[in-house]
A and B are shown apart, each in its own frame.
Chain A
Amino acid sequence: MKILIVDDFSTMRRIIKNLLRDLGFNNTTEADDGLTALPILKAGGIDFLVTDWNMPGMQGIDLLKTVRADETLSSMPVLMVTAETKREQIIEAAQAGVNGYIVKPFTAATLKDKIDKIFERIDAS
């Protein structure tokens, strides 16, 4: 299981990476916005995408839409971890096909809970 973490703040990438490692996900890679994430995703080998919303270049919501529109990537599980908390944004993300939505600041337990739920749903379908 290889996870791509996309966030423009290196500290947040590091926090997510460490928490994921604690949950047993040791294989992670990083990108600092949608534009740098896309080539990594397209190169293949990524099984799970964790992305922020508000980033320079390509924002997380656009990355999500691009991923969903790409034939080879469309089924990729996407977890959004963001400080964006407007209802309209959460609804937009849901409609764009996000698999989980975590608001910052978040706890390790929330991260685990959402990832577990995403896999439960994937296993069920």
Chain B
Amino acid sequence: METQNNIELLEAARALVTALEADDEQQAQIHLANLTLAQESELFHDVGTLTRELHQSLSNFNVDSRLVDLAEHDIPDTRERLNYVITTTEEAAHKTLELIDNTLPLSDSLKLTAQNIEESWHRFRMREMGVDEFRSLSEEIESYLPNVKKHSEQIHENLLEMTQAQGFQDLTGQVIRQVISLVGEVEDKLVGLVKIAGKHQTKRPKDGNEVDLIKAEGPQINKDKPNVVNNQDEVDDLLSSLGF
């Protein structure tokens, strides 16, 4: 194709030279026009190629319309889901703490009364107790026993409710699993984008900004980091090495 073009161009050029040498202005004009036309058609061909490439690139981006979807829909949705995790875990923790608050006085009162009765009972067995005192001990035992039943029932019910309150783990676990898969998807797409955009990019030197070593980061998930302590003992060791 290209050779054919060249032959045609060469022929047109020769014809132009011949016409110019013959001083045939009319023929020269015609051959010049032919030459220009050939040039233009090559230009059109190049523009065509460029257009095709551009179209291809745009189509590639279209394949990644999922990215737009992720940014417009999935990410805000994820924010909501994570807020749901915070709210749900908070509610469950408060519910459990509330039930503990209700249960502790019940067990405390059972323990206290049992302790009193035990002391009195011991004195009774040692024959150190008068009749009146024994009568009041009997009354105490009589009112204590139904209380044991009532409090135990309440404690049992509270424990069951605490068990139910742990249902949040399943719900939040599902949400977090979805978030993990979304993050994975975003990561893949970003890697794809970096591959497309990064072809002609040279490595940029790292910013000279210093890392803030004491910036709050929350719980450390990766316990193998060398500058992270793993438990209270290691904290204590570190502090004592500092003279604490």
The smallest beta-carbon distance between A11 and chain B, in angstroms, is 4
Range for the number of chain B residues in contact with chain A: 20 to 34
Contact of B163 with A by CB under 8 A: no
Question: Using a CB-CB cutoff of 8 Å, which residues 37-94 of chain A contact chain B?
Answer: 53-54, 59, 61, 83-92, 94
Q: Is A11 in contact with B90, judged by CB distance below 8 angstroms?
A: yes
Partner of A10 from B94, B213, B235 at Cβ < 8 Å: B94
Number of A-B contacts (CB under 8 A): 71
Q: Is B218 in contact with A91, judged by CB distance below 8 angstroms?
A: no
Contact of A15 with B by CB under 8 A: yes
Q: Chain B's interface: helix, strand, loop or mixed, by majority?
A: loop
Contacts of B90 in A (CB 8 A): 9-11
Contact of B219 with A by CB under 8 A: yes
Q: Is A86 in contact with B97, judged by CB distance below 8 angstroms?
A: no
Contacts of A101 in B (CB 8 A): 235, 239
In the complex, the chain B residue whose C-beta lies closest to that of A14 is B97
Range for the number of chain A residues in contact with chain B: 20 to 34
Pick 12 A–B contacts, CB within 8 A, sort by A.
A9-B90, A10-B90, A11-B90, A14-B94, A15-B97, A83-B219, A85-B219, A85-B235, A86-B217, A88-B213, A89-B213, A94-B244
Contact of B63 with A by CB under 8 A: no
Q: Is B239 in contact with A87, judged by CB distance below 8 angstroms?
A: no
Contact of B220 with A by CB under 8 A: yes
Contacts of B235 in A (CB 8 A): 85, 90, 101-103
Q: Which residue numbers of B lie inside 8 Å of A, CB to CB?
A: 90, 93-94, 97, 100-101, 213-214, 216-220, 227-232, 235, 238-239, 242, 244
Q: Is A84 in contact with B217, judged by CB distance below 8 angstroms?
A: yes
Q: Is A84 in contact with B231, judged by CB distance below 8 angstroms?
A: no
In the complex, the chain A residue whose C-beta lies closest to that of B213 is A88
Partner of B214 from A11, A18, A86, A102 at Cβ < 8 Å: A86
Q: Is A11 in contact with B232, judged by CB distance below 8 angstroms?
A: no
The smallest beta-carbon distance between A81 and chain B, in angstroms, is 11
